[in-house]
Structure 1
Amino acid sequence: MKNISLTLLTLAVATASQSALAFQKGDWIVRGGLATVSPDESTSNIVVGSDLGVDLAIDNDTQLGLNIAYFFTDKLNIEVLAATPFKHDVNFGVSDPLGTGDKLGEVTHLPPTITLNYYFNDPSSPFQPYIGAGVNYTFIFDEEFTSANDAAGLKGLSLDDSFGLSAQVGVDYMLNEQWFLNGSVRWVDIDTEASFSLNGAPGSVNSIEIDPMVYTISIGYRF
């Protein structure tokens, strides 16, 4: 009887320890790490009076990614994503029509995103995978041409802000009851358009679908 009681006590302690690893209603979590925005861009051609036959390409950038989430059930949380500003090089897509170099300019953006996540919440595993969907508002600012393009007559670069959907998959790996590692992949719908002038003539790129994948590795803490 004594051995049976000891076995049951051991199982109860083990089960309680495993359950504590899974997130629970009322938990707050914060994460911080590196986030890489990798655009999968598709743009219309540059137009200045007529179609120049050249589109745009946008480079990757990596910054500090931050998010905070609150579990309103054991399996569902609301997450707010933030980051330090991402700065991307904007290049001529195929060839340089002005002879000023392949780099056209730079743009900076902030992509705050609100996501509803569903956790599979397996209490027997330190791996806590989840999927999510949400909305994003991207603030685009500090748009500028390179000095060579500015000298060639390109002025007043401006890109519109963007509102769109987002989706993600991720996993938290629990190191203990408070600390965990996180990896996630997120898709964000970012659509914009650009306006500028070339030697006083109005120019535009009427469709810029950036639609990046966002890859994040971070460390998190549960309150």
Structure 2
Amino acid sequence: MNAISTRTRLIAAAALACAAAAPAYAGDFMVRARVLQLDPANENTTDAVIPADSVSVNTKYIWEIDASYFVTPNVAFELIATTPQKQTVSLAGTKIGTLRHLPPTLTAQYHFAPTNPVARPYVGFGVNYTHFSAVHLNAQPVLGSDTPLDIDRHSWGTAIQLGADFPINDKLSVNVDFKKIDIRTRVYAGSTKLGTVKVDPVLFGVGIGYRF
């Protein structure tokens, strides 16, 4: 069992334990809409064909919608979703193609001051699943080969989250949110593995929340 699979199982077990331990509570729902800056780490480990840390994915702004369910006043589970995002992939500074990724994320959150009228900070820890699609990569401009590049289409990783809600009234709030997500995939030329790309983006977002 690899490290990512082990971490995923531990996260799932922790989430179930939190839900089982929660006292009876008529939970609230909250939905948020955010605008995010997606800033990839752009690290990669490769063989001698592609130099280390030479593969990069562009920084961009994306939108995000999430839904949270509060099982207690302090504990919530948040599902974060968006549409497939198109990214430009470069090798040694030269564009080699594009791909799309869909990265739904589930976090378990602890809210430190759920009734504070000014600021309601929280932390979260969870699991991310990313599906890659529409992969069109060609290393010919850099490597001089017409062999198309391909990647694994599925990635599982952990996610950490810090944020705060700033109430406007009983229902509406302004939200600020920071996430670090593990997104990694292996790169192939034909059947030859060239290495692993660590996208591992940092996402900083601001948005509006509605609680009901």
TM-score range, shorter chain: 0.7 to 0.9
> What is aligned with 2:171?
178
Q: Render the CA deviation track for 1:91-125: whole Å, top value 9, x for unaligned.
A: 1135xxxxxxx101112101111100000125343
CA contact (8 A) 2:138 2:147 kept: no
Equivalent-residue separation in structure 1 for 2:32 and 2:194 (angstroms): 37
In the TM superposition, what are the counterparts of 1:27-176 in structure 2 within 5 Å?
A: 27-45=28-46, 51-53=49-51, 55-93=54-92, 102-121=94-113, 123-145=115-137, 153-155=146-148, 157-176=150-169
Range with bigger deviation, 140-149 or 173-182: 140-149
Equivalent-residue separation in structure 2 for 1:32 and 1:185 (angstroms): 14
Aligned length: 185
In the TM superposition, what are the counterparts of 1:211-222 in structure 2 within 5 Å?
A: 211-222=200-211
Largest Rg, 1 or 2: 1
CA contact (8 A) 2:138 2:149 kept: no
Q: Render the CA deviation track for 1:192-217: whole Å, top value 9, x for unaligned.
A: 112234xxxx5543211111111111
Give the 3-state SS of the residue equivalent to 1:51 in structure 2.
Answer: coil
Range with bigger deviation, 116-125 or 186-195: 116-125
Q: Give 1:160 deviation, angstroms.
A: 3.2
CA contact (8 A) 1:105 1:144 kept: yes
Q: Are the structure 2 counterparts of residues 142 and 77 from structure 1 closer, same or farther at C-alpha, using a change threshold of 3 Å? A: same
Q: List runs of 5+ in structure 1 lacking aligned partners.
A: 1-23, 95-101
Partner AA of 2:42 in structure 1: E
Give the 3-state SS of the residue equivalent to 2:169 in structure 1.
Answer: coil
Partner AA of 2:36 in structure 1: A
Q: Are the structure 2 counterparts of residues 27 and 155 from structure 1 closer, same or farther at C-alpha, using a change threshold of 3 Å? A: same
Q: Render the CA deviation track for 1:59-95: whole Å, top value 9, x for unaligned.
A: 112222010000000100000000122222111135x
Q: Are the structure 2 counterparts of residues 27 and 145 from structure 1 closer, same or farther at C-alpha, using a change threshold of 3 Å? A: same
Partner AA of 2:162 in structure 1: V
Q: Give 1:146 deviation, angstroms.
A: 6.2
Pairing 1:195–2:196 present: no
Equivalent-residue separation in structure 2 for 1:52 and 1:38 (angstroms): 22
Q: Are the structure 2 counterparts of residues 74 and 203 from structure 1 closer, same or farther at C-alpha, using a change threshold of 3 Å? A: same
Equivalent-residue separation in structure 1 for 2:208 and 2:50 (angstroms): 46
Equivalent-residue separation in structure 1 for 2:34 and 2:205 (angstroms): 7
Q: List runs of 5+ in structure 2 lacking aligned partners.
A: 1-24
CA contact (8 A) 2:126 2:158 kept: yes
**TM-score between both structures, scaled by the size of structure 1:** 0.75
